[in-house]
Structures are given as C-alpha cells and as structure tokens.
A and B are shown apart, each in its own frame.
Chain A
Amino acid sequence: MSTWRVGWLIARKDLRIEWRSRVITNQVLPFAFVTMVIFGIALDANTDVLELVAPGLVWLATMFSLLLLVQRAFSVEADDGALDAMRVAGVDARGIFLGKAIGLVVQLLVLEVLLLCAAMVLYGETIRLDGVVLLVTTMVSATCGLAAVGTLYGGLAAGSKGRETLLPLLTLPAVAPVLIGATRAVESALGTGVAELSEGWQWVSLLTVFAVVFGVGGALAFGPLIDE
C-alpha cells in the first residue's frame, strides 16, 4: 500500500474522530479564544498596541493550540494501544506521519481562520484585499511547518513518560522560526505598522523551506522514532 494511500486513510480517520468527539470545538477553540482575550487584557486593551502586535498574538495562540491538538492526535492512538497495533501491522510509518500531519493541517487552518476573525473583532485588525494572497500562502506554509514539527515530536513524545511536559519542551523551541516568519509575513499582508507587502514573500520562502525540511526529515525519521 502506498504512503499516500496510508496517509489518506489515517487523515480521514483522524478528522472523523475529531468531528465526532468535538474536542476542537469544545476545548481547543475556547482555549485559543481565551488566550487571545488574555493577551488583550495583558496589553491593557490598548487598541493601537493590539493592532500592531495582533499577527504575533494570533500565531502565539495558534502554537499553544497546536500543543493541544498534537497531544490529542497522539492520545487517540495511545489510549487503546492503536499506535502499537499500527507498528505491529507494519503500517508504513511515513504514511502515518503524513496522515497525522494532514489531519493537523486541516484543524490548524480552521483554527487560524477563526483566530484571525477574533483578532479583527478583539484587536480591531483589518485585512487588505491586496494582501490576501500573501496571507493565505503564509497560513498554508506556516501551518504545514507547524504540523510537521508537531507530528514529529508528538510521535517522539507519545511513547515517553511525562509526554505532556516533554511535548511543549521539544516543540516550542523548534517552531520559533515559524513564529517569527509567519508573524512578519502576516504583518506585511495586513500592512501592520510600516511593513511592506513585498517583504512578506521572503518570509514565506523561509516558512516553505522550514516546512519542506521538517516534512521530509520528519517522514524519514518517524518510523525509527516510534519504534524506539
């Protein structure tokens, strides 16, 4: 069975589970929104400041939510020994990586769109029409990178003791480049402060390289990682 076919099976299964369990709507989304509100309160609800820092806050909230989504994605596998069963069944590890990452990409994209809407409401952020292409490209490339890192470290932490604390320790430093790149690119797309639209594409290049490196590296390393 091809890696893509396995990936599709696992992504479809993961998304079906999430759709049924409603964990993303009942837990992850409220958590992300509360985070956005707390950022607003912490910055004294100063709309000038909030508008300036909104892109960074959106990506910070996305990253914190990523940790919940990754933990959820792998606890579904660990709860009744399904990941072990997949290893025993000889399911292509690259396919597992791909499927888990695709499932995360879909969930993160939904979350990011909703967080952007929240930023417009809470922080008074506006979206420029000429920045939409850059904004969408940034979201897609940054999300692929986040999902790749999340899946890689989620798989690594899944079999470890103290995985709840290990996952953020491993993931957050690794996704720091995405936080920087995605924030700068979104600033350019939204015209925040003095950011120029053209500057954003350089950051998108960085995000794409990051996603490719972690995507390919993660797919190759995932098998040995979950086998250990």
Chain B
Amino acid sequence: MSAAAPSEPPAASAVASDGSGPVVELRDVVATLGNFPALSGTTMHVDQGEIVLLRGPNGAGKTTLLRLCAGLVPVVRGTATILGHDLTVDRERVRPHVGLLGHQNGLYADLTVGENVRFWGSTVGATTIEIESAMERMGVADRLESVPVSKLSAGQKRRTALAALVARRARLWLLDEPHAGLDQRARDELDEILTQASQSGATVLVASHELDRAESLATRTIDLIAGHAGSESDR
C-alpha cells in the first residue's frame, strides 16, 4: 500500500462507498486550526479493511487529520474523499459511516452501558439485534449492561464506546490514542477488537504514541511530519 500518485487522481465516483475503492483519499489537503496550518498539503489513501497507524511527534497534525476525516475540521485546500464522498461538499453523507474515538468516549456517565449503546445505535436506526450483537462483540453485554458508565474502568469505557461505534455501523474508525489510560489486559483486548473489526470490513486509522503496540497492530504506518504525510511502510 502506498500514497496515491498525484498524477493519477481517482474519480470520486470510482471510489465507491460500497467498499470497492479507497476509504480515505486525501490529496494535497490543507487544514488550519485558527491561523495555524495544522495540515499543509497532506496526500494519502487508505483502503478498506486496513489498520493504518499515524505516527508523528506532538503537533504533527495526527489529531487534526483524524478530525478532518470525521468532517469536524474543514478542508481549506485540496481534495478529501471519504467513503466515496467529497468531504468539502458532501460531509453529511460521510458522517453517519464514520466513528471518531478521541481522548473522550462520547458516553453519558449517568446512563448504563446498555442505555448508551442503545442510544447511539438508535440514532442511526439500528435494530435491537444489531445493538445486542455489538454489545456481545465488545464484551459489554450481560454483567456490564446495567452498570452506569460512571462506575466503569477506563478500559470498560473504551469497550463501551467501541460497542457504540459498532452499533452505529461505523465503517471508518478514527482512533486517537486508543491505548491511553488502559491497563495491559484492556490494551490486548482493544487490539483484538480492532483486528476483528478490520477482518469484518471496517477500516481503522489510529494515531498513537505507543509505537511498539500500535505498530504490531497496524498493517501500514504513515509518518506525519509538520502536517505532511511523509514516509510509509507496509507491514
């Protein structure tokens, strides 16, 4: 897998949202945070089922890149195609298929695990079976289902948030430092969950400082340096 050549831009229509083309296609993307250029001409692409690790020092633009792919940071210049949709004009069609798990989990502390996952699943019209299956898959069904999120450990909260992503049928998972705050066992479980998700067709983009762990998980790494996607390596 390599960065797309600038001279051969794939037509957006060819990058089908049915998973037959790149899930993420960025071409010379510029994005700013205020007046600060967070991404300055980033070009990269990610195919379906890949687990791609974004590496780079603090301030390299990893979080901005993830938030841009989620439609939370506007594209100032360049083209960004996510799941076959142009992010600059069709952001609303991209969003329902994207799940962003940043430093926060997007959970409601006063609701139980089951209520949280059901709520997020319901926002996209997921069926009860899909929601139950998501909780089973992430290991938060049964014993944990009726526990308030405020009483969970950091690892259990992460698993609940991932169950919500699965219940929402997210096809592109954007994870920012997903291992942060987790103990050894929870990290192993998270890696297993991400591998399973990838095998079942989800595409995972991970920004992490824990390189040993993330590198062993990823199928490919992309180095981000000062807002540029630099070298890539397959695994």
Contacts and interface: CB of A to CB of B under 8 A. Distances in A.
B111 A20 contact: yes
Nearest to A6: B123
B123 A89 contact: yes
A165 interface: no
Interface string A87-111: 1111100000000000000000000
Contacts of A79: 109
B99 A21 contact: no
Interface of B: 70-72, 92-96, 98-100, 102-111, 115, 119-120, 122-125, 148, 164, 168
Given A6-B123, A13-B119, A84-B104, 8 more contacts: A1-B125, A9-B123, A80-B108, A85-B100, A88-B99, A89-B95, A89-B168, A90-B93
B110 A21 contact: yes
27 contacts: A1-B124, A9-B119, A13-B115, A13-B119, A16-B110, A17-B108, A17-B111, A20-B110, A76-B110, A80-B104, A80-B105, A80-B107, A81-B106, A82-B106, A84-B72, A84-B100, A85-B100, A86-B106, A86-B123, A88-B70, A88-B72, A88-B95, A88-B100, A89-B120, A89-B168, A90-B95, A90-B96
Interface of A: 1, 6, 9, 13, 16-17, 20-21, 76, 79-82, 84-91
A63 B202 CA distance: 47
Given A1-B125, A89-B96, A84 B106 contact: yes
Nearest to A18: B110
Tell me the interface secondary structure of chain A in the complex: helix
B95 A80 contact: no
B123 A1 contact: yes
A6 B119 CA distance: 10
A80 B106 contact: yes
A84 B106 CA distance: 8
B95 A81 contact: no
Of A79, A82, A84, A85, which is in contact with the most chain B CB atoms at under 10 Å from its CB? A85
A39 B150 CA distance: 38
A110 B108 CA distance: 24
Contacts of A87: 71-72, 95
A128 B200 CA distance: 67
Contacts of B103: 81
Nearest to B106: A85
A16 B102 CA distance: 26
Contacts of B102: 81, 84
Nearest to A83: B106
B111 A13 contact: yes
B70 A82 contact: no
